Amino acid sequence: MNVLGSDVVVDSNTIHDNASHGISVRPWPGGMAHGVWQLNPDWADEDIQGQPTITGNTITGNDRHGIECIGSEPTNVDTLAADNVFSEVAPNGESRVYVGWLGLVKAVHGDTPVEGAAVEAVDAEGVTAYTGTTNAGGCAPASASYNNAYTWALMDEFYVDSSGAMHMCNPHTVTAASSDGSLRGTAAYSWDGNPKPEGSDIDGRYQIAIVELKPWVEADGPFTVTEGSSVVLTAQGSDPDADEFTYAWDLDNDGSFETLGQSVTFSAAELDGPSSHTVGVEVTDSAGLTATHEAAVEVANAAPAVGVISAPLDPVQVNTTVNVSAEFTDPGVPDTHTAQWQWGDETASSGDVAQASGSGSVAGEHTYAEPGVYTITFTVTDDDGDAGDSSFQYVVVYDPDDGFVTGGGWIMSPEGAYAPDASLTGKASFGFNAKYKKGANVPTGQTQFQFKVADLNFHSTEYQWLVIAGARAKYKGFGTINGDGDYGFMLTAIDGQINGGGGEDKFRIKIWDKASEDIVYDNQMGAADDGDDATIIGGGNIVIHKSKVASTQVSGVTMTGASALATARGAEVVFTLSADANVSAEVLNIAGRLVGRVCTDRASTAGVNVLLWDGRSATGTRVPAGRYLVRVMARSEDGAQTQSLVPLMK
């Protein structure tokens, strides 16, 4: 049955076995090809105009809706399901009662229709169901028939369940924008069927989406900022009437737009990252129309910044407590923190953190059991897992009873060692001694290093500290180059004959300008200062002497650790005897000829001995600068003899 509108009552009919709908109500004639209609013989297919009342009908065995109403409503639309009897209706799942009003979009600016607005309708599944343009009445589409796809696409579908409740089947969201893009709006269809709106030319009931076009605004986000800092928020907007309009921001997402300006500053000073915060921007035109838009501000966590570690600058004796401390700051004021000290001797300990308002301090203490040059590292980690650290170089731990070091010889200086001219290579000679005198905490001795190709002649003037650990000795001090300037130096010496020394003596010296901290010379350029990197010597020897020297012989004598260091007047000759002996020493030229005598048959005791040469020849004249050899000979009471021949640069 096709009911085409009169104010009649359609009742007491039996409609069965239709290939489509049982009763179909539409406001216009000739709308749809109904296919095969199998009606009760007592009922003739006819058109009825107007708004009918449908009640008391028995509808059975139809393939689609029992009662279908498109664009027109029966007077009893809310009770259709209860007012009629349905049996075996819609085996394919369609509803007993279906109501679908004509779809229409109307775009307005205030009370004025907007012509030429671009319209788009998207269904619940995100599929674009319709695109079009509004007419002079602001409507899209302005006219349609049942067969027009866009009318059908815009039609939201409803059905009435057995209790009479109405349900939406396929809601659409409609957007519209003025032809110049300056006005925008979004709306959804109303639930109720509305009478024919102005601007449309089809009679019937309408499902209308009235899109109010307003000034539009969009925030330029998303924005990112690190906790504790700030970011500028910006937005873009427009108004079709070129009205003056104002921007205002809701920075705390409380619904109040209290911060004026197209560009404003968002502060993350008290925020904890990582976190996300919603901000909103609103524009208001001179007519009072507003538009809003939201954006996200992503707040990133910031790692804590660790300050300089406070630690002893002077050398510390072994088994002495070392006290350290450091401060830190964190832009993330709400963050909490943990701290750890790494002491450089393969041990670590946690630190007690005292913090407030994004800053804090940590103290620690440690006792070193072995002499060495140690790097302390301090790490602070916040509750988000980001960390900051700081290092202190170096804590020098010494044992004054651990002996002394002597050495003399030469190395082949590698390319890159001499910073002013990295291409220079060649033989470089050295001679040194360093020891702690009894009761002293600063070592004494002399260090001389000469790299003739570069015209570099370094002499030490002062020592700061000395560390002897196993086969390695390391000490630091100051000196001059070619008799001038103020330079720092650090020397590393490895005695290859001591357990752990590797079988070969090694030498490294690093010299730098104290004022600029520029490196002048380092034969292990770029290596860590607290490491064991050194160059194998080409000649001479390096000896680490233990404080107590015990002779392993009942008779006889041995000599170790002999070295000769130039002094302002002459030279200092150092050696160790295994037993008491008479010592003679003489200075030779490179050809082995006698230049001068240091001493003859001088009574010397077991242990470390030092001889001084006044720099004069056997005839009493001053010996010129140059390279020499010093021969030291010792003879014990039982007649046993030993000797050492060491280089001397004067």
Least confident of 4-13, 101-110, 205-214, 530-539: 4-13
Chain segment 333-347, per-residue pLDDT in tens: 999 999 999 999 999
Residue 309 in this model has a pLDDT that exceeds 90: yes
259-266: average pLDDT: 96
The pLDDT mean for the chain works out to 82
Residue 27 has pLDDT above 60, yes or no: no
CA distance 116 to 314: 85
Domains 216-300 and 305-398 share a fold: yes
Q: Above 90 in pLDDT, residue 429?
A: yes
Q: What is the pLDDT of residue 154?
A: 58
Share of the chain above pLDDT 90, in %: 41
Please state the rounded mean pLDDT for residues 434-442.
86
Model confidence pLDDT, tens digit, residues 224-249: 999 999 999 999 987 655 557 789 99
Residue 208: the pLDDT is 76
Report long-range pairs for 435-441 (Cβ below 8 Å, ≥24 apart): 435/403, 435/404, 435/405, 435/466, 435/608, 436/398, 436/400, 436/404, 436/466, 438/400, 439/400, 440/400, 441/314, 441/315, 441/317, 441/398, 441/400
How far apart are alpha carbons 447 and 438 in whole angstroms?
20
| CB atoms near residue 238 (< 10 Å) | 20
Please give the residue that has the higher pLDDT: either 22 or 33: 22
The region of weakest confidence among 65-69, 218-222, 332-336, 503-507 is 65-69
Quote the tokens at residue 170.
């396929």
Strands of the sheet containing 245-250, edge to edge, are 223-226, 290-300, 275-285, 245-250, 259-260
Q: DSSP secondary structure string, 276-297? A: EEEEEEEEEETTS-EEEEEEEE
Is the model more confident about 135 or about 478? Answer: 478
Q: Each residue of 60-91: pLDDT tens digit?
A: 766 667 777 766 667 787 777 778 887 765 54
- Distance from C-alpha of 204 to C-alpha of 104, rounded to nearest angstrom: 11
What's the confidence (pLDDT) of residue 233? 97
pLDDT at 168: 61
Per-residue pLDDT at 366: 96
For residue 276, the model assigns a pLDDT of 95
- Residue 555 predicted with pLDDT over 50: no
160 vs 431, more confident: 431
Q: How far apart are CA 250 and CA 296, in angstroms?
A: 12
Domain spans, the chain: 2-100, 102-212, 216-300, 305-398, 404-529, 559-649
Domain 305-398 classification at class level: mainly beta
What is the distance in angstroms between the CA of the first residue and the CA of the last residue of the chain? 128
Residues in the chain: 650
Query: At 95, is the pLDDT very low, low, confident or very high (cuts 50, 70, 90)?
Result: low
Under CATH, which architecture does the 216-300 domain have? Sandwich (2.60)
User: Is 559-649 a CATH 2.60.40.4070 domain?
Assistant: yes
Instruction: Identify the pLDDT of residue 241.
Output: 57
Q: How confident is the model at residue 147 (pLDDT cuts 50, 70, 90)?
A: very low
Lowest average pLDDT, out of 61-65, 120-124, 223-227, 267-271, goes to 61-65
